[in-house]
Each structure stands twice: as C-alpha cells, then as structure tokens.
Amino acid sequence: MPIASSGYTARADIQPRSVHLVHTRQLSKVYESGAAPVHALREVNLEVEEGELLVLMGSSGSGKSTLLYVLSGLEQASGGEIHFDGQRIDLMDETELSMLRRQGIGFVFQAINLIPHLTLFENVVLPGYLVSINRDEVDHRATELLGRLGIGALRDRLPAQVSGGEQQRAAIARAMINAPRALLADEPTGALNSASGSAVLEGFREINARGQTILMATHDVKSACIGDRIVFMRDGQIRGEYRLKDSTVAVEDREAAVLAWLAAQGW
Amino acid sequence: MRSILLIAFANLRRRKGQSILVGAILALSALMLYTGIGIFREIDAPVHRMREAQRASQLTLFFDPRIHDQDSLRTWWLAQPGVAAVSEPLATIELREGAFFKGRQLSRFLMATERPVTPSDQDSIRIVDGHAATSPGPGEVWLPTGLTDELGIHAGDTLQFPGADGLVPLVVSAVVVDPMASGLFANPVRVWVGAGELPTLIASTALTGVMLPVRLERGTDADALWDRYIRSRGGAYSGGLMSERDVISAYTGPYALLGGVIMAFSGLGFIVALLAMQGTITSALMADYKIIGILRAQGFRPADVARIYTLQYLLLALMAIPVGVGAGMLLVYQAVAQLTKSVATPVPIAPLAAQAAVMTVALVGLVYLFAARVTRTVSRVRPADAIRFGASAGTAAVSSGIPVQNLRWASVPVIVAIRNLGLQKRRAAVLALAVVFATLAAALAVNLDYTFGRMSTHLADFGFDAADVRVTRAGRRFGMRHDDLMQVLSTRDAVKAVATWGTMDGMFPLDTSGATRLVYGMVVDGEMEALGFRNLRGRNATGPGEMSIGIRTAEELGLDLGSTVTVQLLGAPVVLSVVGVYQSINNTGHGFRLRLESAHQANPLWEPTEYSVALASGTNVERFISDLEAEYGEAVDAKPGDFFIRDQLAQIMLGLRMTNGFLAFVFLIAAAVFIVNTTLLTIAENRQVFGILKTTGMTPAQLRSSIVTGVGFQAVGGVLLALALWFFTARAVLSGLFGTVGLVSFPLENWAIGMAVMVPLIVAFCLASAWWPSRQVLAINPRTLIVE
C-alpha cells in the first residue's frame, strides 16, 4: 500500500537515518500534577527495528502506556530524544506531530475509541480522507482492510452494533488505513473476552507478517507471546528484555517460558 | 438536603466556565425582556408624573374670540362636574414664519402666548435655567425644555422673532418645563411672553387667538366632557383642541413604538434563551454522567440527583437573573431619563423596582420549572454504565446525519462539522435561531435608518407632499396677493408643479347624537398628484364636495370610499364625500384633504397661505430659493421641502439609532454568548471524538476549523433564514407596527449596500465568537481515551 504524498516531513536538524525505526535516548517523562512530581519514564533507551513486533509489559503504572503516548507524540517528553524514522519527534511542533500521527504512526487503544456515531467503514476511511484526495482509493483500501481483518460484512454497522472484538479490529483497520510505519497498541485486548482477544491478536499477527512494525503494551502473557521481543518495564524504567523470535523454545511452551522470565524480573 | 446543597454548590464551582455561560444566558435574557417591557411601560411615567405635579390641563381649546365668546365658554366649562380648573383665557398667536436663533430659522412653529402676571397653579411652569419669576418681563421670552434641548438654547440667549416691523429680539430669560409644550416632538410649540407683549410681535388687530386650558379631576373623563361640550353647542365649534393624548405623544410617541419593537424581540429572545438553557442543562447532565452514576451508587435516589441539578440551576438563576434584571433596570432608567430629559423630572424608581421584583420571581420560577422538567432525565441513568463509560451505554446506537460517503467531496473538518450538526440538531437550531434574531435586529437597524434617512427626499411615501420648496406669503409691510404669487410661481421655467394649501379644522360627527371629533385637515388647490399627494385607495378630491381622509380617521370614524358626511368647517356645515383614503405619519394618520372649492363653501374669502412647489429635475433648490427671495424680498418666505421636519426627523433618527443599535448590539452579544456556550459544550461532550481525531492525525488548525465550520454553517443558515424572513415579512410587520402612527403601508426601503456589508460582518462575528473558545479543543489530551 503506498503512502500518500502529503504527510510529515524531515526536519533540517535531524540526524542521519537510523537503522532502527524507533530509537529513544535517555527518554523521561514527569507529570507535575499534584503535590509531588510523578516520574512516569526514567531515562528510557529503546530501539525498535523495522518490521518488529515489540511487546511492552509491566504492571499498572510501570510506564508502558506513557511510553507509547510519548513515542506517538500524544504526550510531550520531559527529557531525552525520540528518533522515529530518522526524525526527532521530541523537537516537532503540534502540526508536525499531527502529520506524523496521520501517516507515520497508527494507534490502537484498549478502550477501542471508535467514533460511536460513525459506521465501522466511516471510522476507517475518515483518517484516510485526511491524507489522500483520492477518496475512491481510500474507500477501496478500507474495504480491503476490513475484509482482511474478517469484518468486511459489518462495515455499515455502528460500533454499538458489533462485538468488542469486531470493534477493535475495526480500530486496527483505522490505524492501518494510511499504512503507518509503526502501529502502536495500548492493551488492545484488555477490554475483550478471550475469543475476541484472540481474533484481534490474529489480526496483529497477520499484519505484522506483512512487515508492519508494531509496538504493543499489554498485561496479558498470552498476548505478549505473539511478539518478537518483550520489554519489561517497572517504575518508568526498562528492566529487561526477552527475545522470543530467537528463542529456541517451542511455540506451545512460550507462555510458560515468558512467565518464568517475568517472574525472574519480579512480575 | 445539606448534602444535596453541598453537591449543587460543588458542581457550580467545578464547572465555573459553564456556570458562567449559563448564567450569562439567563442574565442576558432577563436583561432583554426587562428592557423591552420596561421602556414600553415606563416611557410615559416621568411625563405623567411631571404633568400631575404641575397640574397639567387635559384639554386645551384654541379658538377665535370673535367667533366664540371666551367668557361664556369658560363659564360653561367651570360649571361642569369633573372639571377641576379652567384657566383665564390666554392670548396666543401662532407665528407661521418661525423665529431665528444664531441666524438659523427654527423648523418648529412657535405659538407665542401671554403669561398672566399672577398665574394660577394650573399648568404651572418650572424654571430649570434662568432667574425665578412669575412671568417673562418686557422683551423677554420663556422657552420650553424640548425646544431648547434640541437647539442648544440657554437662558441669556437671544431669539429673533418676526414682528410687524421686522425681526424683534427677545431675550430668553428662562428655560421652563411646560406641561403642554416641553415635548421633543411638539409642533407648534408654546413659548411664553409677558402680559401685553404680543403686540410687539404682531399688529393688535391680528391678535385673534385664545387658548383655554381645562384641568379635569380625572383625565379619563376627557372624551366624555368633550362630547358633552360639542353637543351643548349643537356640533358648532370652530376652533382647535389639544388633548392629553396629543401632548403625551409629543413627548414619547416614537419611543413608545420602539419600546414595542424591543419587547417583541425580547420575547423571542427569551424563547431562544429557554431553548438554549434546556440544551445546556441536558448537556451538563450528559457531561456529569459519571458523577451521577457515582451518586446513584452511593444511594442517592433519582429524585435526589434530579434535585441536585434543579437546585444547581436554581442557584444559578438566583445569581444571574437579578444581575440581568438589575442591569435592565439601570438601562431602562437611563434610557427613559434620556428620552424624557425635557420633562426634567426624575424617573420614578418604585415602579421599575416593583417590575424588577416581579420579573425576577417569575423568571427564577420559570427556570426552576424548566430545570425540574429537564433533570427528570437523570432517572434514566444506569449507574454501572455511567461509572464505567462516563456516558449512557447505547447512546450512539443510531447513526445520524449524512453518511460520510456522501460527503466525499468535502475536507475532513467539513465532514466532522456536518456530522456534528446532524448529531446536535436541536442545539444547532437554537444557535441558528439566535443568529436569526441578531440578523433581524441588525437588518431592522440598517434598513429603518436608511428608510428614515431618505425620508427628506421621499416625503410623499410618508404622507407629506413631495414639494422641493415650500413658499409662504410673508410680507408684513408689503406682501403679495395669492393670485399674484401663483402667477409668479407657475410661470417660472424651473417650476414643474404648484399646489397651494392651508390647514383647516373640521368637526366630524361621531354619531347621530351630535357628538363630534375634531380633525385637523388640509385645503389644497393645484396639482395634487404632481405634488405627490397619494392615496392608499381611491383618488384625490377633484372638486367641491369631495375629500380624501387619513387612514386612522377613516378607521376611527368608520368612513371609507363612498361615505358621505357633513363636516363643520369654520363653523359651517359642508357635505363631503370620501373619494380617497391616504396614509401619513403626519398627525399619526389623522386628517383630511379637500379642495379649495369645498373650503369656499364654508367661507368664500378663505385663502391658502402655503405653496408647495415641485421643481423641474436638475433645478438647484437653494438657488431657486435665493433667486425667489432676492426678487420678492420679504413678501415671500421660501424653504426647502423638508425644512419643517428636518430637526424632528433628526430626533427620531437619534431615537431609532439608539434603540435599534441597542437591539442589534444585545442580540449580537446574545448570539456570541450562545456560540461560545455551544462551542464549549460541543467540545466538552465530544472530548472522546476530538481525542480520537487528534490521534488519527487531525492538526490543531483542522480540529478548530471543524468546530468553527460547524458554527459557520449554522450562522450562514441563520442569516439566510433571517434574510428570507426579512424580505418576506418585514414590510408587513413594520406596517403593522407603524400603522398605529398612520403608516399602514410602511415605505420600507432596503439598503442593499448596508445589507451586503452587514451579512458578512455577522457571519464573521459568529466565526470569531466560535474561534476563540474553540482553542479548548487543543487542550484535549488523548490520555482521556485511556480506560485504566
């Protein structure tokens, strides 16, 4: 799928294109609200390769969701650098960040967050219309995506008229409509039952197999097991990582291996 | 109850911005309503108060003592039950040539009246500028406040009066509040000179006017006593009458009409405010779903929760409505004081305060009932859904608006704007309605100003003749005969048409019992059509025994085309048939027009004194006047056609501008408040949607423009609807309103340039009103999309 012509552009002050799609250096985020500042991220150094499916794990308040929000530019970093596709996100203004989110990054939420009064198809095409003036092409792409995620027949339903899993797949299609360089997913199966969650994970696996870079935050070990690499976070810091792709553990034993690793990390 | 009160207060504090906006809407509505009703009801109050304090006469008779014996006439009135006092007859003379002040001729006619050395307390005079005295001394004149306010005359100034031997200087020794003559729109205006002073102005043989003021115990008896008087004379009364109605309308007539316009708008504005309030309360409930859920989970019953919100809006109403009513009271006080400045009497506070109290209670009660009705919806809140989702589950189970596929031609901000409008049709309609009223108020201001501004060149549309020049035979030492002047005027190349005329009173029978109604009329000789004497129905009189009558006279006396009536003209009965009905703002649509031949049936020697001249196109009016006056000297007095209405028109224009400008201002402010409120509520209710749109890549400018575009659609819709309403109904509505002053077919002229400027300005104003609060959308943090 071609990326449409309009979109975010490289800044003059960026560094030479990194081999990593995402690269953070000493990234920190402090929330100043309340009496004492809350350090949500502390000197996080993270690299994500193109085409990788990276899973962020950690308990509530560990900083994984904050990391995704800072990486997407929805939250401003308090310090450090974020390199995305060769550009410094932390130096972008609001409009440049919007352009980045429009084409560079797709976002999937735990709460799904489809626009309730739009049909699934309308939810998917709207961000596409932001980028492309060829609306036929956007419609075609949306139809294809919905079909690929198994909800093509539901395209004219409103979110409230389909199941949570179907809604989340529509949200994935929406995030994918502009063929982003990276797909960021925050607890995408958190609000779903087991069957719906599996369908969503299957969707992620399917699009990752086509080369899509995905960063997914999750509590769920089963969800984490679809990743290439798991990064474990606690208190705003990366405490360790586990490479599933290079692991010699059989797929069916992965959950146990990941659990064992997490336990060793203090999960 | 304490906990309910605590939560209600906490809600008000927590949503300060929204509370202020709702409060502003309530206050503004109260302000508009109070102002409309206040001006309408109270405009006359200072005049009545002054007239009562100065023991004003309700009936003032003018007559020629050679026709009616003044002593026997006074005796008759004094003998009537219900009559409190009858003044000594006052020698008076109407100066048809006007006086001069600082070289400028006054456009109002003056009625110089001798003031007794020891006047009674009837029609007492209050001196507001100058030395205290009981009457003017020799060489002095007292002028009423309305006239001095208009012309900037003060005690010590000198006026030149046309006298028998040229101009006579009279010093203004006092400016006075005269119950009969201080009105801004009084014409002729009574001015006082000392006893025995009139012969310095006019030959004693020409002193043929007497004024007889009659004060009644109850003003409401005036009509009955007048009828009794006319019956006692067998209908034969050859003179004039100034009633209390005429006097009051000379003070406030045009303003009272505008008060009616304001009130009509205010009522409509309040309906919009109620609708906006309903939308606001509903929105507030939607925004508080989670809190409502928590309260319900803690054991509050639906009725308790409803009470919290009802109380919340009651508290808001208790704070806002007194502010609006108070501001309205201040505004009405100032407006009435300004408009009735000439009576130099304080505006009574008590009626204003009483009206404010009643209105405050009524409006607060209305808000309470309204809030109670709307807050009943909290019973439908399901605690679990409310706590979990912060909104009612399934609220978006129905799509609304145009499908996105049908909007593929539009940019995403436009698509979002249109979809949002579809979702909030009621709120969109209310906002559009506010814009409709603002546009109508602005259109009223622009076009009425234009219409009255062109009045001096379109006099015939308002019921005057369309003379370019008015000429009076004015010579005292030497003059011209009527036939000679007619010859002079009609043979000049520059003259297109001439009509001569004079005023004449006619006593029209009210019924068969002998009761009559005095009507001021006009006797015309010459080319009436060419001079712009128009009729709504029928035609102008063409010969003896015919007349056309004013629309209000026709209505009040039950006359129409074909009616035949015997009218007492100069004390003689003349049978006249109605051949035309005309409208005129002059004398509020009362009057008649007949030909000279009819007047000659009453008195063969009667001659017109005024000459209306229509000039050939391209003729310079000022040059024509100066040539005529240079050629015939003091034998003629020529003035531009609009000279005698110029100053009063300026007063009316000032009143119109003040009132309509205020109206347009208030409605534009109201529209701006609605827009700000709607924008903030839209953002508050759609935080999730805007957060999603922000996440999917809409830029800050696109997010703001999606909101502003929505308001733009509503503004354009409102403006278009208002224009349609204006063009289709304005003439009829204004005709209805101005029908009371004689213009049943209001000669509205729409000012194309003014409207062309006004429309984009209103739309731009609406967009600017939305742009400012739309920045709130930038503060939405997509973190709100996270459910922990």
The lowest-confidence range among A146-160, B655-669, B742-756 is: B655-669
C-alpha–C-alpha distance, residues B64 and B603, integer Å: 15
Instruction: Yes or no: say if B154 and B175 are a contact pair by the CB < 8 Å rule.
Output: yes
> Does the CB of A107 have a partner CB in chain B at under 8 Å?
yes
Inter-chain CB proximity B782 and A69 less than 8 Å: yes
User: How far does the CA of residue A252 sit from the closest CA of chain B (Å)?
Assistant: 30
User: How far does the CA of residue B3 sit from the closest CA of chain A (Å)?
Assistant: 27
Instruction: Yes or no: say if B320 and B27 are a contact pair by the CB < 8 Å rule.
Output: yes
Instruction: Yes or no: say if B279 and B22 are a contact pair by the CB < 8 Å rule.
Output: no
User: How far does the CA of residue A47 sit from the closest CA of chain B (Å)?
Assistant: 23
Instruction: Provide the mean pLDDT of chain B.
Output: 83
pLDDT at A4 (0 to 100)? 36
pLDDT digits (tens, 9 = 90+) for B720-739: 999 999 999 999 988 888 88
C-alpha–C-alpha distance, residues B460 and B583, integer Å: 10
Instruction: Yes or no: say if B38 and B352 are a contact pair by the CB < 8 Å rule.
Output: yes
C-alpha–C-alpha distance, residues B316 and B313, integer Å: 5
Helix (H) or strand (E) holding B508: strand B495-509
Residue B788 has pLDDT above 50, yes or no: no
pLDDT at A46 (0 to 100)? 93
Sign of the Cα torsion A12, A18, A22, A27 reads negative
Inter-chain CB proximity A60 and B396 less than 8 Å: no
Q: What angle do CA B185, B189, B193 make, to 5 degrees?
A: 155
Identify the residue whose tokens are 């003259």. Answer: B495
Nearest CA in chain A to B782: A74
pLDDT band at B204 (very low <50, low <70, confident <90, very high): low
Mean pLDDT computed over B391-414 = 71
Instruction: Yes or no: say if B522 and B607 are a contact pair by the CB < 8 Å rule.
Output: no
Q: Which residues of B touch A72 (CB under 8 A)?
A: 695
User: How far does the CA of residue B402 sit from the closest CA of chain A (Å)?
Assistant: 10
Inter-chain CB proximity A94 and B689 less than 8 Å: no
User: How far does the CA of residue B322 sit from the closest CA of chain A (Å)?
Assistant: 38
DSSP state of A101: I
pLDDT at B546 (0 to 100)? 95
- The count of other CB atoms within 10 Å of the CB of residue B256 is 19
Contacts of B381 (CB under 8 A, 6+ apart): B289, B292, B293, B296, B302, B305, B392
> Does the CB of B542 have a partner CB in chain A at under 8 Å?
no
Among A7, A18, A214, which Cα is nearest to A99's?
A7
Residue B322 has pLDDT above 70, yes or no: yes
E strands of chain A, at which residues? Answer: 22-31, 38-48, 53-57, 79-84, 87-88, 105-108, 182-186, 213-218, 229-234, 237-243
C-alpha–C-alpha distance, residues B364 and B361, integer Å: 5
User: Phi, psi (5° rounding) for residue A86?
Assistant: 85, 5
Residue B232 has pLDDT above 50, yes or no: yes
Inter-chain CB proximity A111 and B786 less than 8 Å: yes
Q: Torsion angle, CA of B228/B233/B237/B242, rounded to 10 degrees?
A: -20
Distance of CA A169 to the CA centre of its chain: 13
C-alpha–C-alpha distance, residues B341 and B337, integer Å: 6
Q: Which residues of A touch B782 (CB under 8 A)?
A: 69, 74
Q: Write out the two tokens for A264.
A: 């060793």
Between A137 and B340, whose confidence is greater? Answer: A137
Q: Write out the two tokens for B593.
A: 């027009």
Instruction: Number of A to B CB contacts under 8 A, please give it.
Output: 108
Q: Which residues of A touch B404 (CB under 8 A)?
A: 118-119, 122, 125-126, 129
Closest partner residue to B397 among A126, A161, A178, by Cβ?
Answer: A161
Inter-chain CB proximity B692 and A116 less than 8 Å: no
pTM: 0.77
Three-state secondary structure call for residue B174: strand
pLDDT digits (tens, 9 = 90+) for B10-55: 777 777 777 787 788 788 778 878 887 887 777 778 888 888 888 9
DSSP state of B344: -
C-alpha–C-alpha distance, residues B693 and B685, integer Å: 14
Edge to edge, what strands does the sheet with A38-48 contain? A38-48, A22-31, A79-84, A87-88
Inter-chain CB proximity B785 and A191 less than 8 Å: no
> Does the CB of A109 have a partner CB in chain B at under 8 Å?
yes
Among B108, B146, B346, B332, which Cα is nearest to B249's?
B146
pLDDT at A10 (0 to 100)? 37
Which parts of B211-243 fold into alpha helices (H)? 222-232
Alpha-carbon separation of residue B627 from B106, B498, B623 (angstroms)? 22, 17, 6
Closest partner residue to A122 among B404, B697, B786, by Cβ?
Answer: B404
Closest partner residue to A160 among B396, B401, B403, by Cβ?
Answer: B396
Sign of the Cα torsion B290, B295, B298, B301 reads negative
Nearest CA in chain A to B786: A111
pLDDT digits (tens, 9 = 90+) for B92-112: 988 766 788 887 878 788 888
Of the segments A200-204, B35-39, B141-145, which one has the largest average pLDDT value?
B141-145
Identify the residue whose tokens are 């929505």. Answer: B710
> Does the CB of B486 have a partner CB in chain A at under 8 Å?
no
- Cα-atom radius of gyration of chain B, to the nearest Å? 33
Three-state secondary structure call for residue B446: helix
pLDDT band at B394 (very low <50, low <70, confident <90, very high): very low
Instruction: Yes or no: say if B715 and B763 are a contact pair by the CB < 8 Å rule.
Output: yes
Identify the residue whose tokens are 């830029």. Answer: B699
Amino acid (one-letter) located at B722: A
pLDDT digits (tens, 9 = 90+) for B275-311: 766 766 776 676 677 777 777 777 777 888 888 888 8
> Does the CB of B412 have a partner CB in chain A at under 8 Å?
yes
